[in-house]
Amino acid sequence: MTHNVLVYLYKPQNTSPLYSSVSKTLRDSLSRVLVPFYPLAGRLRWINHDDHLYKRGRLELDCNGNGVEFVEAEWNAELDEFGDFNTQSPDHQYLFPAIDNTVPIHELPIMFVQITMFKCGGISISVAASHVVVDGSAIAHFIVEWARLSRGETAIEKMPFHDRNALQGREPREVEARTPEECRFDHYKNLTYLPELVNHQGNEGSAEEGKKLERTVIRLRLAPNQVKKLNKLANEGRRSDIQPYTRYEAISALIWRTMCKVRNNKDEQPTSFLISIDSRRRLKPPLPVGYFGNAILDVVATSFARELVSKSLGYGASKIRAMISKVTDEYVVSTIDYLKKQQDLSSFRSLYLYSTEDFLGDPNSACTSLLNLPIYGVDFGWGKETYVGPGDLKIDGGSVLLHSSEDDGSLVVMVCLLEERVDAFKKYFYQDII
């Protein structure tokens, strides 16, 4: 199962606390915050599972209070020597909790925390949480409340809402009573379809061979004026009756198009772009404030490489907009209804397995936005972070959009791609906005 990692870096203060004091403060506050956020201390377990038939069935959350895994580490180096994540380093992995996915699911902690203290007094806090149980919004909520208690606040500001009935879909009789017109969504295709390479003759030969090539992660900064220029490019020629494309839609379109270019995808190559959408505010009524779980719904925009490369940036943005707009209350509830009827959900989890050998990659891409999550400016008691971001990206074509730690209005795009394509990607990414 996939655990998403979020890492915070804190530079030493003039009066940096002792490591023993930091550890005790974080442990004590973590123990207290887990009381209202108790699902994180539980375990997942399979139901309707059959090893002989290789069926995974469904997962159930067992709130058994078995706890989270808390790891303490010391690094005999200065934080400045370690780097700031602007370039990928093999050393970065040592800041993240080690997760053994061969452990039976009912024994694997839902959340791991690792605290690393540098000899200069700098601190790293990494949180890894199961994406099956919580999404980015939920884990950000948890981290904010944990930080409040750590720095001396006495009470939770926003309590988590745990009742899963809020995301249950319709009653079975309501589903059966729907007309054919109301059953117009092809959920199997929407949830599982990713195009494969068409007669590809490039260096990697196939997606399977592409797994074996070296991948890396790059960070691309977009200054405020570049974001403005990119938005202008995406909106050129837009009809007046269409709302302006957002910065996410414009940047995602640029990532998608650039990936097609550096991969040398053929004109007739189908390609998809995976978009993760928080359904909390799209439901009617919206989910309760503080809903603690995973309310993410993935949708896939599809086009041909020829169209993305030859047409304006607004074309790619329009394809992404069309899929985002599709996620209405009816669509979300219909998806829930569809998934509730499936005995085995394994095939629907394939798009989430970013940390396994499953290959999203060529010819497909994805972008997750962290722009609207409350993960920035988190103070555990020794000031705000100097860096916050995802722990790792492992799949070619995966990307994350977040605010820059420079606090100047600039944005950062983290992209995972094959090492041999880095220079070309940077060239095509910036060529129209420099």
Beta strands in 159-225 (DSSP E): 215-222
163 and 226 belong to one structural domain: no
pLDDT tens for 320-340 read: 999 999 999 999 999 998 888
Say whether the peptide bond before residue 285 is cis (omega within 30 degrees of 0): yes
366 and 404 belong to one structural domain: yes
What is the C-alpha to C-alpha distance for residues 429 and 226, in angstroms, rounded to an integer?
11
pLDDT at 56: 63
Task: Provide CB contacts within 8 A for 222, sequence distance 6+.
Answer: 230, 251, 410, 411, 412, 413, 433
Kindly state the average pLDDT of the residues 428-432. Answer: 94
pLDDT at 199: 63
Write the DSSP symbol of residue 18. P
Give the active site residue among 131, 141, 187, 200: 131
**Is 150 inside a domain boundary?**
yes
135 and 191 belong to one structural domain: no
Q: Is residue 131 flagged as an active site residue?
A: yes
Kindly state the average pLDDT of the residues 69-73. Answer: 96
| Owning domain of residue 25 | 3-167
154 and 59 belong to one structural domain: yes
Whether the pLDDT of residue 352 is over 50: the answer is no
pLDDT tens for 292-301 read: 999 999 999 9
154 and 221 belong to one structural domain: no
pLDDT at 327: 95
Q: Is residue 92 flagged as an active site residue?
A: no
Pick from 79-83, 181-185, 195-199: least confident: 181-185
What is the C-alpha to C-alpha distance for residues 36 and 32, in angstroms, rounded to an integer?
8
162 and 191 belong to one structural domain: no
Cβ contact 254:230 at 8 Å: yes
Instruction: For the chain, give the percent of residues with pLDDT over 70.
Output: 84
What is the C-alpha to C-alpha distance for residues 258 and 255, in angstroms, rounded to an integer?
5
What tokens does 147 get?
């930080």
Task: Provide CB contacts within 8 A for 329, sequence distance 6+.
Answer: 282, 283, 284
Higher-confidence residue: 198 or 225? 225
How far from 167 is each of 112, 170, 329, 330, 358, CA to CA, in Å?
26, 9, 11, 13, 28
3-class SS of residue 122: coil
**Is 32 inside a domain boundary?**
yes
**Is 173 inside a domain boundary?**
no
Kindly state the average pLDDT of the residues 220-248. Answer: 96
**Is 174 inside a domain boundary?**
no
232 and 293 belong to one structural domain: yes
**Is 205 inside a domain boundary?**
no
3-class SS of residue 87: strand
246 and 101 belong to one structural domain: no
Whether the pLDDT of residue 259 is over 70: the answer is yes
**Is 411 inside a domain boundary?**
yes
Q: Angle at the Cα of 409 (from 404 to 410), degrees rounded to 5?
A: 50
Q: Confidence band (pLDDT; 50, 70, 90) for 21?
A: confident
Whether the pLDDT of residue 178 is over 60: the answer is no
CA-based nearest residue to 277, from 190, 194, 171: 190
Residue 362 phi, psi dihedral angles, 5° rounding: -55, 125
Sheet holding 3-10, edge to edge: 69-75, 111-118, 123-130, 3-10, 387-390
Q: Confidence band (pLDDT; 50, 70, 90) for 179?
A: very low
Task: Provide CB contacts within 8 A for 276, sequence distance 6+.
Answer: 296, 297, 298, 366, 368, 369
Whether the pLDDT of residue 77 is over 50: the answer is yes
CATH of the domain at 226: 3.30.559.10
Cβ contact 162:173 at 8 Å: no
159 and 218 belong to one structural domain: no
Give the active site residue among 84, 344, 358, 379: 379
380 and 249 belong to one structural domain: yes
Instruction: For the chain, give the percent of residues with pLDDT over 90.
Output: 67
Q: Angle at the Cα of 271 (from 270 to 274), degrees rounded to 5?
A: 145
Whether the pLDDT of residue 343 is over 70: the answer is yes
Write the DSSP symbol of residue 166. G
> How confident is the prediction for the chain on average, in pLDDT?
87
How far from 54 is each of 49, 84, 94, 291, 327, CA to CA, in Å?
8, 43, 34, 33, 33
CA-based nearest residue to 257, from 273, 268, 246: 273
Whether the pLDDT of residue 358 is over 60: the answer is no
Whether the pLDDT of residue 354 is over 50: the answer is no
pLDDT tens for 157-175 read: 999 999 988 888 665 545 4
In the block, which residue shows the tokens 């090539």?
A: 213
Whether the pLDDT of residue 15 is over 80: the answer is no
What does pTM read for this prediction? 0.90
Higher-confidence residue: 389 or 15? 389
Cα-Cα-Cα-Cα dihedral sign, residues 381, 387, 390, 394: negative
Q: How many domains does the chain have?
A: 2
Q: Confidence band (pLDDT; 50, 70, 90) for 344?
A: confident
270 and 407 belong to one structural domain: yes
31 and 161 belong to one structural domain: yes
